[in-house]
Amino acid sequence: MKAFLLYKDQDFDFGAELPPNHKDLIQDLEMGNVLESMALGDKFLFEVSTKVALASLRDPEAILYRQRILVDCIAEPEIVREMYAIAVGALEDKRGIWAYSSQIPSSILSGAVNQLEAAVVRLKQLRRIADDHAERFHSAGLTTLFRTLQRELDDEYFRTISFHLKQLRFRDGQLISAQLDRDNSGIDFVLRSSDRGKRGWKERLGMVPRSSYSFTIAPRDDAGANALSDLTSRGVNLVANAAAQSADHIWSYFIMLRGELGFYVSCLNLWDRLVAKGETVSYPEPRSWPQRVMSFTGLRDMSLALRSERQVVGNDVDASGQSLVIITGANSGGKSTFLRSVGLAQLMTQCGMFVTADAYRASVFDGVFTHFIREEDASMTSGRLDEELSRMSTIADEIRPHCLMLFNESFAATNEREGSEIGRQVVSALLDAEITVFFVTHQFDFADGFHRQRADSTLFLRAERRSEGQASYKLAVAEPLPTSFGEDIYYQLGGWLDSDSDRPAALSATTSASEERLAHGLDAR
Amino acid sequence: MADGTTRVPDLHPGNQPGHAAGEPASASPAPRRFISLLADGAPERADLYGREDRSFAADLNLDQFVGKIAGVQEEPAFIASLLYTQLDDVDTVHYRHEVFRDLEDLPLLGQMQEFAELMHQVRSHLAQVHKMQYQYQREGWFLDAASMYCKAVQSLVDALGNAPLGSRALCAFRAFLASYVVSAEFELLIADTRDRKDALAQIRYCTRIRGLRVDVSRYEDQADYSVEVLETFDRFKQGDAKDYRVKYRGWPGMNHVAAQILELVARLFPDEFQALDEYCRRHAEFFDEQIRRVERELSFYLGYLDYIRPLSAAGLSFCYPDVTAKSKAIFAVDTFDLALAKKLVSEGKPIVRNDFQLEGPERIFVVSGPNQGGKTTFARMFGQLHHLASTGCPVPGNAARLLLFDRLFVHFERKEDLANMRGKLEDDLVRIRAILQAATSNSIVIMNEIFTSTTLRDARFLGEKVMEKIIQLDVLCVYVTFVDELASLGDSVVSMVSTVVPENPVERTYKVVRGPADGLAFALSIAEKHNVTYQRLRKRIIV
């Protein structure tokens, strides 16, 4: 029996390692907010959400399989949450029962029988839900699940289980077969299910060789009694193994069910949170290669939307057919937010979730990679450029054709001429390897180089400022300009670097915090 | 229980009460000349060949690898003794080289390793027999030992039969084995052992336990209940299940209940067990002495090869040195410190190899240069190489010609006693004088960083005195020093310098070359260092 709620025909591998760049993705795309809104403080759900969100699907059909289940879940949230509660409850029951730490097979056996009895109760609960609610679901994933429960857990089967659980409590002696080991002691002990070895009358009259001999342990022979119970224990070794493995199999069914349902329960949590914020979401349209599609309207950074008080304004971009998108323009003009919104939406698309956009249509990438400028790196032993290039090298170990690579102010830790040259070499190599690249930069030399050489396959976006000098965070399709707007912003913020006393407290926090303020037009004044 | 202990045949070798009954007619073999793997026409104890010298073991780090090689062997003291014993004739060196060359054939080596392992098990089995309390247990264990012995001998005969042997030692042993396996004694052992094993393996029985009563009966095809249980819950199977079977260690050791059950099993199957009694009396002494000797000496070769295998796998070469007692025109190509290489290979770090060569009047390497550059390693390596060559082992390197010396003298600075400068200097001088007095023109002398506790002026003065004496003795010598002047004391002196790779600590190597110090400068761009230039990335990301 399988849950098969995350894949049509396979289990989700919760034991798999997260992708090597998961820390970068979570940090750079500020996924923490989204994952917390999914988990609502539940450690297990946080783990499940993280694993599923980062294990991107590569097949549009597989994505749609999850999307349809998610639609069902959002329509019937109580039933889904109840099933999840049963799986969680079953595993709590298990924890309450003595575990098989013993090295004595007869103890293992009685522990396993207790566990099987507990598991049967939970299985019956699942069957009842299937009986009561199956017709309210329409997705392939959930209808199959309910049908499986009804077929595999019929009444006849519950009767068979209960017969064996009684048998396994046997106390009226066991028949154990054995062979001779290398030192002629017993080996390969096997518990046998019936006794056909009765002595016949011919044997009793001495007409055929005797087929049975007996002895009895003296009542005070404690060592002998121990040896005997040891022998019994060896005899039930295989049966204890069978029972314990059976219990484990049932638990692993519940474990899988808890994990896979856990993902949808997390999605329900996130949905509730977004609805409460007045955010609208949509289900993205995944496209398979070789179509190079990346087109959206009203795309908002979900992470920002979750922590922001105000409605976030979205971007409309059609980069379909382009292999490189270069974003230039005013500092704090929403460039980084835009880059994050693309990365986050792409990851959520590829794990089967909804996105905060009016519409989102994109190719399914083989992986999403981020290389963001890191300003806080205090532990560096080598120089900053060294660190940046070392991170780039790590990415190069993993990245393949048909991946999406997001750069944010990369290779700016040196002078512009050198930084541009390194950037040009890196990006050219990625493009020639059929990798799609988004690059936020203020290095005009770099951006202009691609404008001159790869204009037809490159989309240039620019963060504009409004006429009164205030940053807008809607991006426009526009060529790079040789200047940035740092000076403007500086003065707009009141020249707070000139004197400490002028500095507004909120702006001494992180870049993203100040970006957010500007993004919402929250001027320091 | 009493009748279980009275009928025990004594299985101690050399004391066979039932011997006459099962004695085969042709069982008195002619006295043989013993074959040794260690030396041609060896005396009774081949380990007494040559001269054992451990005086330099710690300084040359020989103790590290002798410890590693010998420590895992059944007789560490015997192996260590062989590894410290320097041979004094070229022929015995060649005798051992021949065996090593034969063992280069990997299938043959594998067979020899298996043979050694099996024989070891046979002997530990036989040792355990004497500690066992119950007759049928003892007999089963004895039979098992004999069975392993037969298999080991037979598969070795097959292996040697097809192997392209070139060594005098293994050819002689093959000839011996060929006659041994067709002897009536061995053929009977084989047949009896197989019959007994087969008969016991057929036996199946059942025990039914109710309270304190145990019934023992023949097994009559009753079904395995665990299969039924697994089938019932099979539909939940999610993948491979954890194995809950408790691992029981059955032998050696048997309690009295198990022994009683075995007694009853023996009554259910009387023919099988009577035949077993008979077998044990007849074959009480099956282990051949010549085979035992070869197996013991084989561990010298196998131990050394085990040690160097990971090094060879890491790309390091070993060679059979041209060992000579006559010429001092020695050389070695791509050689290295055996103990250091072991450490670096296990850490996955690269090993730098060195060459050295002496021609014409050259006798002495004076090694100078920056610290941490491999000077001491070079000196150790030179000493290790010569010592190893004198034991008949292959040595590190692609090719080598080495002196079969009469004595190897090593003087390394002692780290202790730094408080007492005068005492230390005096101690150094006393030890050096002793060496220079004992050394002959066929000796090898290795001196490492002596006189560092003195002033440069003293060190130069004393160093020159020592060098004069060494030159005069005409010995082969490595002299590690910080006194540059010692490198130019005449035609017999060759100046070697250590070099450092300053860039990357991982790549810091121990290259020692002829000539003056030569600073290496690397000017790699940072991008190239990280392999993220256009060209490198194009190669790394495969389309």
Q: Which of A175, A217, A244 sits opposite B257 (nearest CB)?
A: A217
- B384 against B425, higher pLDDT: B384
pLDDT of residue B517: 33
CB A400 within 8 A of CB A325: no
pLDDT surpassing 80 at residue B471: yes
Chain B residues whose beta carbon lies within 8 Å of the beta carbon of residue A187: 250
Rounded-to-integer distance, Cα B55 and Cα B50, Å? 15
Any A CB within 8 A of B541 CB: yes
CB A441 within 8 A of CB A328: yes
Q: Which of A1, A235, A392 sits opposite B532 (nearest CB)?
A: A392
| Chain length of chain A | 525
State which amino acid sits at residue A276: A
Q: Counting Cβ atoms within 10 Å, is residue A239 exposed (0-12), middle (13-18) or buried (19+)?
A: buried
Dihedral sign, Cα of residue B66, residue B71, residue B76, residue B77: positive
Any A CB within 8 A of B198 CB: no
pLDDT of residue B270: 93
Rounded-to-integer distance, Cα A29 and Cα A50, Å? 13
Q: Which of A112, A176, A187 sits opposite B206 (nearest CB)?
A: A176
Show the tokens assigned to A396. 């190069």
- Would strands B213-218 and A436-440 be described as parallel, antiparallel, or unpaired? unpaired
Any A CB within 8 A of B274 CB: no
Interface test with B, best of A1, A113, A169, A185 (most B CBs within 10 A): A185
Rounded-to-integer distance, Cα A259 and Cα A87, Å? 9
E-strand ranges in B415-481 read: 444-448, 476-480
**CB–CB contacts below 8 A, A to B:** 275
Per-residue model confidence as pLDDT tens digits over B95-140:
999 999 999 999 999 999 999 999 999 999 999 998 888 999 999 9
Q: In what order do the strands lie in the sheet with A404-408?
A: A368-372, A404-408, A436-440, A324-329, A458-465, A471-477
Look at residue A182 and tell me if it is in a domain: no
pLDDT surpassing 50 at residue A509: no
Chain B residues whose beta carbon lies within 8 Å of the beta carbon of residue A180: 140, 200-201, 203, 265
Cβ neighbours of residue B302 closer than 8 Å, sequence gap 6 or more = B103, B109, B112, B113, B116
Are both A422 and A466 inside the same structural domain?
A: yes
E-strand ranges in B307-353 read: 318-319, 322-324, 331-335
CB A41 within 8 A of CB A114: no
Q: Which of A321-335, B30-44, B71-85 has the largest mean confidence? A: B71-85
Q: How many CA atoms within 13 Å lie on the side-chain side of A224?
A: 18
Are both A262 and A392 inside the same structural domain?
A: no
Look at residue A256 and tell me if it is in a domain: yes
Interface test with B, best of A175, A181, A183 (most B CBs within 10 A): A183
Listed residue (A441, A443, A463, A459) closest to A451, CA to CA? A459
Four-CA torsion B54, B57, B60, B62, nearest 10 degrees: 110
Contact B537 A396 (CB under 8 A): yes
Q: Rounded to a whole number, what is the distance in Å from the CA of A228 to chain B's nearest CA? A: 7
Percent of chain A as helix, strand, coil, to the nearest 5: 50, 15, 35
Rounded-to-integer distance, Cα A277 and Cα A271, Å? 10
Interface test with A, best of B541, B542, B543 (most A CBs within 10 A): B541
Contact B258 A425 (CB under 8 A): no
Q: Counting Cβ atoms within 10 Å, is residue A41 exposed (0-12), middle (13-18) or buried (19+)?
A: exposed
For residue A81, the Cα-to-chain-centroid distance in whole angstroms is 19
Measured at the CA of A336, the angle between CA A331 and CA A341, to 5 degrees, comes to 145
Contact B209 A393 (CB under 8 A): no
Contact A248 B241 (CB under 8 A): yes
What DSSP string describes A138-164? -SHHHHHHHHHHHHHT-HHHHHHHHHH
Are both A108 and A136 inside the same structural domain?
A: yes
Listed residue (A429, A419, A427) closest to A383, CA to CA? A419
Are both A245 and A337 inside the same structural domain?
A: no
CB A371 within 8 A of CB A392: yes
Cβ neighbours of residue A379 closer than 8 Å, sequence gap 6 or more = none
For residue B119, the surrounding DSSP H or E stretch is: helix B106-129
Show the tokens assigned to B419. 């408080």
pLDDT surpassing 50 at residue A446: yes
Contact B209 A397 (CB under 8 A): no
Are both A46 and A161 inside the same structural domain?
A: yes
Assign residue A360 the CATH number of its domain. Answer: 3.40.50.300
Are both A447 and A484 inside the same structural domain?
A: yes
Show the tokens assigned to B68. 């590693």
Look at residue A70 and tell me if it is in a domain: yes
Q: Which of A233, A246, A432 sits opposite B538 (nearest CB)?
A: A432
Chain B residues whose beta carbon lies within 8 Å of the beta carbon of residue A174: 208-209
Q: Which of A44-53, A183-192, B462-471 has the largest mean confidence? A: A44-53
Chain B residues whose beta carbon lies within 8 Å of the beta carbon of residue A399: 541
Domain of A450, in residue numbers: 288-519
Rounded-to-integer distance, Cα B76 and Cα B82, Å? 10
The pLDDT confidence band at residue B456, using thresholds 50, 70 and 90, is low
Q: Rounded to a whole number, what is the distance in Å from the CA of A262 to chain B's nearest CA? A: 18
Are both A267 and A375 inside the same structural domain?
A: no
pLDDT of residue A178: 92
Per-residue model confidence as pLDDT tens digits over A254-278:
999 999 999 999 999 999 999 999 8
Listed residue (A150, A115, A118) closest to A246, CA to CA? A115
Rounded-to-integer distance, Cα A39 and Cα A237, Å? 42
Show the tokens assigned to B267. 């009554």
Are both A328 and A247 inside the same structural domain?
A: no
State which amino acid sits at residue A259: G
> Which B residues in the span 250-269 are in contact with A, Cβ-Cβ below 8 Å?
250-252, 254-258, 260-262, 264-265, 267-268
Rounded-to-integer distance, Cα A303 and Cα A149, Å? 38
Listed residue (B315, B319, B476) closest to B401, CA to CA? B319
> Which B residues in the span 493-532 are in contact with A, Cβ-Cβ below 8 Å?
526-527, 529-532
pLDDT of residue B529: 74
State which amino acid sits at residue A323: S
Are both A307 and A438 inside the same structural domain?
A: yes
- A118 against B455, higher pLDDT: A118
Q: Counting Cβ atoms within 10 Å, is residue A360 exposed (0-12), middle (13-18) or buried (19+)?
A: buried
Per-residue model confidence as pLDDT tens digits over B148-206:
999 999 999 998 988 899 999 999 999 999 999 999 999 999 999 999 999 999 999 99
Provide the number of structural domains found in chain A: 2
Chain A residues whose beta carbon lies within 8 Å of the beta carbon of residue B141: 182-184
Show the tokens assigned to B538. 């194009």
For residue B126, the surrounding DSSP H or E stretch is: helix B106-129
Q: Which of A112, A211, A422 sits opposite B218 (nearest CB)?
A: A211
Cβ neighbours of residue A372 closer than 8 Å, sequence gap 6 or more = A24, A27, A28, A336, A406, A407, A408, A409, A410
Look at residue A2 and tell me if it is in a domain: no
Contact A177 B532 (CB under 8 A): no
pLDDT of residue B135: 92
Look at residue A374 and tell me if it is in a domain: yes
Residue position matching structure tokens 């032993």: A381
Average pLDDT score over residue span A290-309: 90
Domains of chain B: 317-529 (3.40.50.300)
Q: Which residue of A has its CA nearest to B147?
A: A182
Q: Which residue of A has its CA nearest to B128?
A: A183
DSSP β-bridge partners for residue A475: A463
Chain B residues whose beta carbon lies within 8 Å of the beta carbon of residue A224: 212, 256-257
Show the tokens assigned to A286. 């995944």
Are both A250 and A119 inside the same structural domain?
A: yes
Per-residue model confidence as pLDDT tens digits over B395-437:
999 999 999 999 999 998 765 444 444 555 667 777 888 898 8
Please state, rounded to an integer, the average pLDDT across all residues of chain B. 83
Please state, rounded to an integer, the average pLDDT across all residues of chain A. 83
What is the CB neighbour count within 10 angstroms for residue B130?
12
Residue position matching structure tokens 């913020």: A493
Q: Rounded to a whole number, what is the distance in Å from the CA of A269 to chain B's nearest CA? A: 29
The pLDDT confidence band at residue A167, using thresholds 50, 70 and 90, is confident
Rounded-to-integer distance, Cα B172 and Cα B39, Å? 12
Contact A180 B212 (CB under 8 A): no
Q: According to DSSP H, which parts of A379-454 are helical?
A: 384-398, 416-432, 444-453
Contact A212 B217 (CB under 8 A): yes
For residue B450, the Cα-to-chain-centroid distance in whole angstroms is 34
pLDDT surpassing 60 at residue A89: yes
Say if residue A290 is preceded by a cis peptide, omega within 30 of 0.
Answer: yes
What DSSP string describes B187-239? HHHHHHHHHHHHHHHT-EEEEEEETTEEEEEE---PPBHHHHHHHHTGGG--S
Q: Which of A248, A253, A400 sits opposite B541 (nearest CB)?
A: A400
Rounded-to-integer distance, Cα B38 and Cα A422, Å? 64
Are both A251 and A373 inside the same structural domain?
A: no
Contact B526 A386 (CB under 8 A): yes
Contact B225 A192 (CB under 8 A): yes
Q: According to DSSP H, which parts of A60-167 are helical?
A: 60-75, 77-96, 105-133, 140-152, 155-167
Show the tokens assigned to A323. 């292999």
DSSP β-bridge partners for residue A212: B217
Rounded-to-integer distance, Cα A520 and Cα A337, Å? 12
Any A CB within 8 A of B243 CB: yes
DSSP B355: E
Contact A238 B540 (CB under 8 A): no
Dihedral sign, Cα of residue B85, residue B90, residue B93, residue B99: negative
Chain B residues whose beta carbon lies within 8 Å of the beta carbon of residue A197: 206, 208, 217-220, 222
Q: Which of B215, B229, B267 sits opposite A246 (nearest CB)?
A: B229
Look at residue A174 and tell me if it is in a domain: no
Look at residue A204 and tell me if it is in a domain: no
Per-residue model confidence as pLDDT tens digits over B269-319:
999 999 999 999 999 999 998 999 999 999 999 999 999 999 999 999 999
* Range scoring the smallest mean pLDDT among A83-92, A175-184, B23-32: B23-32
Are both A245 and A303 inside the same structural domain?
A: no
Contact A224 B265 (CB under 8 A): no
Average pLDDT score over residue span A112-140: 94
Rounded-to-integer distance, Cα A183 and Cα B142, Å? 8
For residue B357, the Cα-to-chain-centroid distance in whole angstroms is 30
Look at residue A337 and tell me if it is in a domain: yes
Show the tokens assigned to A307. 């922590």
